[in-house]
Each structure stands twice: as C-alpha cells, then as structure tokens.
Amino acid sequence: NVFDYYTVGDELGRGAYARVHKAVNRQSGETVAIKFIDKRRFKLVPGFDVDGLLREAEVLKKLHSPYIITLHDVFQTDDELAIVTEYVSGGELYYRVAKRPYSEPDAKKLMMRLFLAVRHLHDRNIVHRDIKPENILIASPADDTMVKLADFGVAKTLGYDGLKTYVGSPLYFAPEVLRRKNTVHGLGRYGMGADMWSLGVVMYIVLSSLPPFDDATLARHMENVPFDFSHKRWRGVSEDAKDLIRGMLNSDENARLTIKEAMAHRWLSGVVVDDAADGGAAAAALRAATAATTAGDDADEGGAGGGAAATEVKKAKKAKKEKK
C-alpha cells in the first residue's frame, strides 16, 4: 500500500484518468510526486493497457538521465495504480510558453536537454509517444531551461515490426500515427520518428508561443502538413532554427531527422549543457560522429550535420534503396 510508505499531501493536478499529489517518503523524508491512475478509466482509453503499463514501468525504472523524471516505484490495488516519481517545482513547460516565447539562446539549451532525454530513450528502443509541453517539467523556477521529460504512461519499447497503437495528443501526432487511425483496419506501423515530429512541434511552440498548425489542418494534409514562419514572432529567429524545425516536421517519416541528426544540427553548434555527465561533452562527441559519417556526402554544403544536408542524405539513401 503506497500510504504505508508515503505521506500523501496536496493535489498538484488531475486529468481524465489520473490525479497527481505531492508526497513525502516516510523513511527518507524525500519529497516526491505520486500519480494515481484510475484503472477502470484507464482501460477505457483506446490502446491503454494496465499490464503493459506495469511492464514498461519496470523498464523505465532503469532509466538514469538528468533530463528524464526518475521513476521510483509503482504500487497497485484493484482500483488504482500509484506511480511514484521525483518531484520538481518549476511547473509545466506549457504554462511557461503560454506567457512568452523563449529567446533563441535559452531555447537552444532547453532543446538540447530535451534531445538528450529522447536520445536516452531511443538508444534503448523506447518511444515516448506523448511528447508535449504538458509532459515537459521545469526542474526549478530559477532556470526555465532545465527541463525533464515526464509522463511515460504510453511509452513503449519498440519491437521489430514497429508500433501500431493510436495514442498520444492530437496536435502532436505525427502523420504516420494519424494514418494508422484512419485506415479501415488500423493498418500501418510507426516508430521513433513519431517522437521526432512531436519535438518539432514543441520547438516551434518554444520559439513562438504558437502552434505550427491546428488539429484540423494536420488531419486534412497528412501527406504534406503545411506550416510556415510568417508570424511576426519569427522575424528575429535564425534560419538555422527554422531549418531544424523543418527537418523534424517532415511529413515523410523516412526523411525526417533522427535524434542523432537533430543533435548534430548546426543550430546547436557550440551549445554546452554542463549539468550532467551525458550533457555537453556527449552532445559534442555526437555531433562530431555524425559529421564524420555524413562528411563524404555533404562536403560541398560547407559542413556536415546541418538539417538540410542531413535531410538530403536521407532522401538519397531512400532513392537508392527504391532503385534497387
């Protein structure tokens, strides 16, 4: 029983099938957050499976990244699941970007930390499937670029044949996830590219406090989702930032940037986050590795790893494969 181990305090928020409370570990005195999931309501959501959630929780307990909320423990009764995680005090990114956009220097630090979190997942074949500002937490009010990825309720380990369940939040759905829903028998698969699309939407919002498109536009134009940078808030934003967003919001999942290619993009050149062992140094090493891999293909572009160059490399590989 979770109440034997934790003193449960104020409610921090609630959703359709869960509520979150602040709590204190009775033995250590550590402040934590506990998400209570109503199993009956959870089962009513298409694609949500309590047994699957428990299996994934065991995997997530083994994740150790300063940019991912630490999962401490999971308790369950006949009616509820109680997921115990670390507590952070800065609130959701959602409320921060609702006030004003981030400056580009701050956005670079924030996105690098998010990329490091997603790389940690993708290196272990885990797809988050619900990346959005509401699931990105700010560690402290003192630094709104220090973020942690949270809410792994629909995270899934990627199998050989990809993922097929229609889950997530509509505005952040990749086109291939929507296509999965709209086929007669739910045909099709998707993978890590779905997370990359969501990161593209998040980056667009971080730099403008505006969504790149609405749900209706996404649903109508799945093959080539239109978006632009015409709003006045984009006037002072660099072309490199826009290029990275375009690379992540590529409707063709085979040409979309991977997490390693996104981290190697020239927009993040020189960005160092020194608050973790896998922070700045690892990111710099990754950029160098990606540059070495693609240098032969895009030397004429003035350097490797740029979003446009990386996209062209992927298109060339795809065309070569189709030709064979």
Contact 172, 201 (CB under 8 A): yes
Residue 277 confidence (pLDDT): 45
Q: Is 138 helix (H, G, I), strand (E, B) or coil?
A: strand
Catalytic residue, candidates 38, 51, 79, 130: 130
- CATH 3.30.200.20 residue ranges of the chain are 9-86
- CA proximity to 70, closest of 53, 85, 84: 85
- Using 50 as the pLDDT threshold, list the residues of the chain that sit under it: 160-168, 182-188, 276-282, 285, 289-290, 292-313, 315-317, 320-321, 323-324
Residue 281 confidence (pLDDT): 45
Residue 169 confidence (pLDDT): 58
Residue 210 confidence (pLDDT): 94
Question: To which residue do tokens 């979190």 refer?
Answer: 117
- Terminus-to-terminus CA distance in the chain, angstroms? 59
Residue 168 confidence (pLDDT): 47
Question: To which residue do tokens 């020189």 refer?
Answer: 270
Kindly write down the DSSP assignment for every residue of 45-98, as one continuous string.
STT--HHHHHHHHHHHTT---TTBPPEEEEEE-SSEEEEEEE--SS-BHHHHHH
Whether 130 is catalytic: yes
Domain 93-323 in CATH 3.40.718.10? The answer is no
Per residue, the 3-state secondary structure of 268-313, as one string, reads: HCCCCCCCCCCCHHHHHHHHHHHHHHHHHHHHHHCCCCCHHHHHHH
Q: What percent of the chain has pLDDT over 90?
A: 52
- CATH 1.10.510.10 residue ranges of the chain are 93-323
- CA proximity to 251, closest of 197, 317, 206: 197
Class of domain 9-86: alpha beta
The pTM assigned to this predicted structure is 0.78
The response to whether 320 counts as a known ligand-binding position is no
- Biggest alpha carbon–alpha carbon distance for the chain: 64
